[in-house]
A and B are shown apart, each in its own frame.
Chain A
């Protein structure tokens, strides 16, 4: 839409932009950055010279032609290549390509044609006396160079190539100079009169670009203008560097809008077609499909003529062209090089490619906006009539076509040189506008199967035009929803005269390569106007009907599209393979070697043996969380793991669960070493450092899913028993996020008990429980161990372990303090009494007396009295003895025996 808006308002800006694009296309190599200075890459020797050549054969006047001569490598003789530039360009555009060819073993000569770059003289549009003579002189010059291989004296082995203007120069060189051995013209004309005045209609837009470019030097050409001198003379009205007769011809035709015979003759005389009979060297022809300036019919005429002269010819239809699009620069260069290798160097192994190749659109890559191309090749050039034809019936009654006064608004087929149309076309778009009432259309039924048109379709229509007419014929691809697309944006103009009573016209429609998909229609349209062409300004009405109700569509079934994917870069496969290798490397290295000893059958019945267990704090060499810890737990024990906060209890339990790795030592559960994920852990149930349930699930779902995650049989879970222990009541069916801290804790303990594991580990299990729940929990643990299972309870609270544990492990600062049965640690299990004595601690004498009493195991002094351990005497009887000894007892109570032991053992306050 954007484009169309700008088109309707042809202002200065777009004209400039279109002109620049047109120039870029003309130059042909505009995609390549401007050439570097002559001291580019090493190895290529570049000599620039301005050669003084005669103005015309036999003339004493001289023009100076700016040349660059490129050689590389050894001093041996080699074939030469002449490189010609596009219209509006100069030899500078060819620097990159010249260097490449020089390194490939050619002596390369580039030159700026007359009127371009730093060359003097006037543009004669490849006038054989002027530009043509220059090329002959350049070949003479080449024959004198010591590096250049000679076929005969004065006859170098030489090929000529170039795009557009330079391409025509190569054809003309082959026609006028027998010394030329091979040529590769690109995107150029066979007969310039046919190109600019097709069927007698003036191609005004292109002709305008063409002559404006020459008139104002290279100012429009942007990068090619660097260093160019100002146009020699600005006094000629708009003629600039053109030879005056050419300029006058253009101005005459452009003013009248109608080419005359004189103009035709002038251009024909300068065209390769004038010497067509004499071009008999191997010719590689490139022609753009997106080229409304020099359409494929130019290549067709070239190929037919040169082939009839007996020379090998290959035809290559490029994706882009003067209208823009992908110029396939790299591929073109490579193919030209192979062509010259074969026909200049005589390398018979050089692959000159298929006789016919066409680049077909494979869709657009939006990541870089470029149309991807696929080549299709054929073993012979099918021409524009195809190797087969399909006849597609057309319907449509006789229609009247109005020619609007002033030929405005014009229908739009494409935008000469605007570029990018191939891209839009490939993604299903492009701009083509016909105005109702100014166009006759004839349409086919939807195609049953896809038809690929390769060549120039034909139709026969009947036109009645009392005062003559110009019509623009085109074939649209019409989608099922009515969307129409004009392949390559090409039209065929026809000038019709002598049709007062009606005339039958044989139409040759524009040559294209295009696939009409199944379900699409073909639509033949004849419009009265076209933006790019001159047409009569007088209002008129034509009537158009089908003389033959069909379109003859040439096809080339022998031309097959090459398989795709060859264009993918290596890394498409290399990168994932490399990624897989790196991934494998990452996984295979850095594995911590676990020197896991084998299972010890002798310990198969011992729930837990810890031997020399050591764990340092993270990033620390000598600070230990656990140091050289060893103890053993037997079946049926309820083991209390006791120690103040920070003693290393939890760290030990984490290592026991395989969550963290010890720095040293060994943990064995039922004889099996514990490593992360050790299967023997399935016999261990654990509750360590708080609950860990999924908050969004109910308590029951948590238990259920946890058990399923263990992968063990559902029947072994004993969910109901676990739930009974948890005592959650109805809350079990509520999401855990609604639970209190104590409920979560009980749920987690129940989870640890699922499946009634042989070894149950509970870390601070009574946190958050109320006293009655604590009592129940103790009973549960005692019952649990009574069945021959084993329980480890860790706590920093003495009361907890004291009342239910059979054995104790006391830790402090990461070390084992003591381990053994509770009775061993606390003494013989007798009662300990705290005796408060009035007046402070008793004397040593008193203390000795007490200790000597029968049934007293020991007596120690405390701050407020004595601590007495009884052994076989009741507290009651003991009190009587104290009274008998006249000790002033003011208080007597049971002392917290374990706490005493604990404090004694760790030698400080807990």
Chain B
């Protein structure tokens, strides 16, 4: 029976009980980077509210029409505007941070070897860390629009989502669409998470993993700007990073989001596998 302890182990030891998610979450939760990230994300909507209060309502921009134009129309509008300004970078950094820092910082603290000697099986250690990093990333992505929605509703009232191009979405539909957007953003960032996580197993320098992931994300954006690449750009995760705007129109258009999710998931699977493969064989010398 699987409940019997493995032969030779200490009483009560079972590999599948090691490093439970709850324990890993507590280990990570009180870190300054976690608290600061949460604080920054929660503060961002208030900064924007203050900016609009000082600078007046956003003007309809010359040239591109963006979600900022209607930011102060309702709480829902404000939440989408916050997503719009943060999707490109502000939400990338927490994901890179949570996924890229998780193994590398343990190596940096030298606590990694004690976990492995406990012994926490390597695959199990990675899995726990990956799940917790993804949960933290998801929480970061929910936190920002949630705070923005609450703060925005207090500041600008609860109402329909006014679309910058004209038209509107009823509040109930819009709230569901925003949930879909957050879900898509999360799936879209899986590739960043995968990259950061893999780098995290390769380097012992936490900043290297985080910076590397953010840097490569920027490279992806640059490549996507090279129109000469044509259809090949569709294979770049960065190509789809704003596909979620398709959810904020009267007729929901899923195609681009499905494509973006497909690209991101495909890359992420490979990168996660690389992380597991590398860590499995690694000599831990930190």
Contact = CB atoms under 8 A, between A and B. Distances in A.
Interface of A: 1-2, 361-368, 372, 424, 426-430, 479-481, 483, 485, 517, 519, 564-565, 567-569, 571-573, 575-576, 578-580, 582-584, 586-587, 590-592, 599, 604, 618, 654, 657-661, 669-672, 676-684, 686, 688-697, 705-706, 708-713, 716, 748, 751, 755, 757-758
Given A366-B245, A583-B273, A710 B118 contact: yes
A409 to B, nearest CB: 20
B9 A682 contact: yes
Interface string B1-43: 0000111111111111111100110110011100000000000
B60 to A, nearest CB: 5
Contacts of A586: 270, 273-274, 276-277
Given A429-B163, A683-B9, A755-B10, A709 B119 contact: no
B75 to A, nearest CB: 15
Contacts of B168: 428, 479-481, 483
Given A366-B245, A586-B270, A683 B10 contact: yes
8 contacts: A362-B251, A565-B255, A688-B117, A696-B32, A709-B20, A711-B16, A711-B20, A713-B11
A357 to B, nearest CB: 19
Contacts of B280: 591
B31 A696 contact: yes
B12 A713 contact: yes
B246 to A, nearest CB: 6
A117 B264 CA distance: 49
Given A426-B249, A426-B251, A679-B13, 20 more contacts: A362-B255, A363-B246, A366-B243, A367-B239, A367-B256, A429-B166, A485-B166, A565-B258, A572-B258, A573-B262, A590-B277, A659-B284, A660-B283, A677-B15, A681-B119, A682-B119, A686-B117, A692-B111, A694-B109, A709-B120
Contact of A430 (B110, B166, B239): B166
A660 B282 CA distance: 7
Nearest to A758: B10
A586 B63 CA distance: 47
B250 A428 contact: yes
Interface of B: 5-20, 23-24, 26-27, 30-32, 60, 62-63, 109-122, 124, 160, 162-163, 165-168, 170, 235, 239-240, 242-243, 245-246, 249-256, 258-260, 262-263, 265-270, 272-274, 276-277, 280-281, 283-285
A517 B250 CA distance: 10
Q: In this complex, which of A372, A426, A480, A708 has the most chain B Cβ atoms within 10 angstroms of its Cβ?
A: A708
A709 B118 contact: yes
Contacts of A695: 109
B111 to A, nearest CB: 4
A697 B30 CA distance: 7
B12 A582 contact: no
Contacts of B274: 586
A76 B26 CA distance: 79
Contacts of A519: 170
A680 B255 CA distance: 52
A372 B115 CA distance: 52
A582 B269 contact: yes
A679 B9 contact: yes
Contacts of A713: 11-12
A568 B259 contact: yes
B262 A571 contact: yes
A712 B240 contact: no
A618 B283 CA distance: 10
A692 B6 contact: no
Contacts of A693: 109, 111
Given A367-B256, A480-B170, A657 B113 contact: yes
**Those 7 A-B pairs whose CB atoms lie nearest each other, nearest first:** A428-B167, A711-B17, A363-B253, A579-B266, A692-B110, A583-B273, A429-B165
Contact of A590 (B245, B251, B281): B281
Nearest to A736: B109
B234 to A, nearest CB: 8
B119 A575 contact: no
A572 B120 CA distance: 37
A519 B250 CA distance: 13
Nearest to A1: B60
Contacts of A676: 116, 119, 121-122
Contacts of B268: 579
Contacts of A679: 5-9, 13, 15, 119
Contact of A424 (B115, B165, B239, B258): B165
Given A372-B253, A676-B122, A705-B23, A757 B10 contact: yes
A376 to B, nearest CB: 13
Contacts of A599: 7-8
B9 A705 contact: no
A481 B259 CA distance: 33
Contacts of B281: 590-592
Contacts of B30: 696-697
B27 A694 contact: yes
Contact of A751 (B8, B26, B114, B284): B114
A19 to B, nearest CB: 23
Contacts of A710: 13, 18, 118, 120
A583 B274 CA distance: 7
A680 B262 contact: no
Contact of B112 (A430, A517, A692): A692
A580 B266 CA distance: 7
A124 B96 CA distance: 67
Contacts of A367: 239-240, 242-243, 246, 256, 260
A688 B113 contact: yes
Contact of A658 (B7, B8, B116, B246): B116
Contact of B118 (A430, A590, A661, A682): A682
A361 B8 contact: no
B167 A709 contact: no
Contacts of B272: 583
A480 B165 CA distance: 16
B118 A572 contact: no
A679 B5 CA distance: 9
A694 B6 CA distance: 29
Given A363-B251, A424-B165, A576-B265, A678 B11 contact: no
A671 B8 CA distance: 8
A1 B60 CA distance: 8
A658 B119 contact: yes
A372 B253 CA distance: 7
Nearest to B105: A694
A364 B163 contact: no
Nearest to B247: A363
B259 A709 contact: no
A381 B24 CA distance: 64
B20 A692 contact: no
A27 to B, nearest CB: 24
Given A366-B246, A710-B18, A579 B269 contact: yes
A40 B191 CA distance: 42
A428 B166 contact: yes
Nearest to B118: A710
B171 to A, nearest CB: 10
A429 B170 CA distance: 16
Given A684-B117, A705-B26, A578 B12 contact: no
A591 B123 CA distance: 13
A368 B239 CA distance: 10
Contacts of A517: 250
B13 A712 contact: yes
A749 B252 CA distance: 60
Contacts of A569: 259
A706 B118 contact: yes
Contacts of A757: 10
Given A576-B265, A583-B270, A427 B27 contact: no
A367 to B, nearest CB: 5
B12 A689 contact: no
B117 A681 contact: yes
A517 B168 CA distance: 11
